[in-house]
Structure 1
Amino acid sequence: MELSDLKIFIEVVSQGSITKAAERLGYVQSNITARIQLLENEMSTKLLHRHPRGVSPTTAGKTLFDYGEKIITLVDEATKNIQNAPLPEGKLTLGIAQTISLAYHAAIVKHILDRYPAVHVSVMVKHSDDLIAAVANNLLDFALVTGPVHHPDLMEVRVAKEEVVLVSHAKEKINDLSELATHTVLLHESPCAFRKTLESFLTAAKINPPKVLEYGTPESLLNGVLEGVGVSLLPLSAVRKYVDLGLLQATPVKQAHKTLSTVLVFQRQRQASQYFDLLVDTLKAVTGSVGEII
């Protein structure tokens, strides 16, 4: 049963006329009649008596009318309470893994500041393993890391699937992984998921780049690619704006297991906190989708 159909039925009974109900609701009369017939089919019983002066409810119709009024009142009350609920306030501590921060850090913080002005958000940017440990030890409320994590003491929500791409200067298109045999490769010095993924690709394909350079941060690595120093592997979300501006080339990796996930990790009790809904709302706005708890 659709709530809109129930509202139509209540209006028809209240007016004692399908014609008057149609006028008040702004519907054509045939639409009202069809919706009433749909309700009668769902209930497998007649709900209205038709007579020259209009309509009146049958015994079943009177029962539905009484319950319907209560249902509509409760729905309206719930909607009002939810819409008027106070916004979260206080301090939120959030970790964001280094490579993920390239794509989402600024947008996440801006959304929270704009939509939840009473929340003071403190962001820690570190390696995924460090952030997972911090959440497990109650040093952080939540963390966005590369996953899946499968930590025995933590819950996680898949935020986005990250397509990994070979990234090169705009004037140096890389068509295939095999071409790295003749190019300088740039890696993050920490053993992040994207470094491990690229190294596994190179090992499996038996490719030995002529030179490998390590960078301390994803930002410095990205700058190296922008300056034409070499080629690297990064999530498409982190470099999309540079690709759109014509500053970088991004080549999808054809090998298997080319996607990783960004996940939100937290302790179980955090799911009931005001900040969990805040982060789900924020991440949906920033990434476009948030999956189920895994």
Structure 2
Amino acid sequence: MKLSELLAFVTVVDTGNITQAAERLNRVQSSISHRIRSLEDNLDVTLLDRKTDGCSLTAQGQILYDYAVKILNLADDCKKNILHYSSSQMNMRIGIIECLPAYIVSSMIDLGYDLGWNIDVSIGNTISLLDAFDRNEYDAVIIGAGFSNVQHTRATLLSSELVLITEKNFPTIKDISSLDGEVFMLSSKKCATSTRNYTSLFKEGHIIPKRIVECGSYPVLFSSVAAGKGVSLVLRCSIGSEVQSKIKIHELFGQYNDFKIELVYRTGCPNLDSTKFRGLITSIFQDPRLHNIGD
């Protein structure tokens, strides 16, 4: 039995004839008749006494009618609850800078699952993510600090260090000026945060790199550095445990010890407690793995 058949049957009973049932359901009479016959064939009974002045229920038809009304009411109630849940479910679009470790993204997805939210996560660089946020393409972005402005609502999530990484047997870097003439590697030349930090490093160390190689992603960058193809300046927390044993980490000081990651978010999202949302995202960045790499 199909709901459409039960609805046709109940409507015929309620209106008294097939013609009026067809009008109420916006169907042709032959369609209503076909659905009634299908029910009768399926149950192998006669449900309606058909007369010139209308239709009346048989004894078997009365039994089906009572059940059909309950079934249709339950189906309608189910549909309303599903629609209400869908309309009330939180949908969040979040952009995250690519230098963060993969477990941060996993934690974000787990958070959405636990709260019943639909969280769509995209990876990008600070400038492109912030531009997309300003175009309302994201509800929140997690980016490098220093590029948002006073019109943005923001909160610091993490303060970490920038470190130099090289292949395992590279001599300890005691003076960054010794890197003059080295090949430098970065994930993307479009990443404003990396470009700014490299500019500061080159200026401070009077470094003229042999060349700057764009790797396209952090996994490629780390594998290239491990293979001795160049050196790189990265956020300490971006170094995963699987990479740490394959590279050498060199400490930096001064301005490189206070690199901040911040959350930029909207405060006017319907059904969203922005203070609670900020607290939940902040809690993800309390992961000890972000603070205990290469010490």
The TM-score range, normalised by the shorter chain, is 0.5 to 0.7
Whole-angstrom distance in 1 between the partners of 2:101 and 2:90: 23
Q: 2:144: which partner in 1?
A: 146
RMSD: 2.7
Q: 1:283: which partner in 2?
A: 282
Whole-angstrom distance in 2 between the partners of 1:270 and 1:168: 44
Larger radius of gyration: 2
Q: 1:196: which partner in 2?
A: 196
- Preserved contact between residue 175 and residue 251 of structure 1 (Cα < 8 Å): yes
Q: 2:185: which partner in 1?
A: 186
1:228 is displaced (CA, Å) by: 2.4
- What letter is aligned with 1:186? M
1:198 is displaced (CA, Å) by: 2.0
Post-superposition Cα deviations, 1:150-200, rounded to whole Å, max 9, x if no partner, equal: 424311000001210001122325423223225321123214312321222
Post-superposition Cα deviations, 1:38-87, rounded to whole Å, max 9, x if no partner, equal: xxxxxxxxxxxxxxxxxxxxxxxxxxxxxxxxxxxxxxxxxxxxxxxxxx
- What letter is aligned with 2:214? E
Whole-angstrom distance in 2 between the partners of 1:225 and 1:90: 41
Q: How does 1:72-221 map to 2 (within 5 A)?
A: 89-100=89-100, 104-113=104-113, 115-116=114-115, 118-176=116-174, 177-187=176-186, 188-221=188-221
How many residue pairs are counted as aligned between the two chains?
199
Post-superposition Cα deviations, 1:199-244, rounded to whole Å, max 9, x if no partner, equal: 221123211233321222333222322332111001000015246x
Matched residue SS, 2:100: helix
| TM-score, length basis structure 1 | 0.59
1:135 is displaced (CA, Å) by: 1.8
- Preserved contact between residue 183 and residue 229 of structure 2 (Cα < 8 Å): yes
- Preserved contact between residue 100 and residue 146 of structure 1 (Cα < 8 Å): no
Whole-angstrom distance in 1 between the partners of 2:229 and 2:283: 35
Q: 2:64: which partner in 1?
A: none
Query: Percent identity at matched positions?
Result: 14
Shift of the 279–150 alpha-carbon distance from structure 1 to 2, 3 Å rule, reads closer
Structure 1 unaligned regions, length at least 5: 1-87, 290-294
- Preserved contact between residue 184 and residue 209 of structure 1 (Cα < 8 Å): yes
Shift of the 271–286 alpha-carbon distance from structure 1 to 2, 3 Å rule, reads farther
- What letter is aligned with 1:259? D
- Preserved contact between residue 153 and residue 267 of structure 1 (Cα < 8 Å): no
Range 148-157 or range 103-112, more displaced: 103-112
Q: 1:261: which partner in 2?
A: 260
Matched residue SS, 1:256: helix
Whole-angstrom distance in 2 between the partners of 1:276 and 1:167: 37
| TM-score, length basis structure 2 | 0.59
Shift of the 111–206 alpha-carbon distance from structure 1 to 2, 3 Å rule, reads same
Structure 2 unaligned regions, length at least 5: 1-87, 289-295
Matched residue SS, 2:161: strand
Range 174-183 or range 266-275, more displaced: 266-275
Whole-angstrom distance in 2 between the partners of 1:125 and 1:161: 20
Whole-angstrom distance in 2 between the partners of 1:92 and 1:102: 19
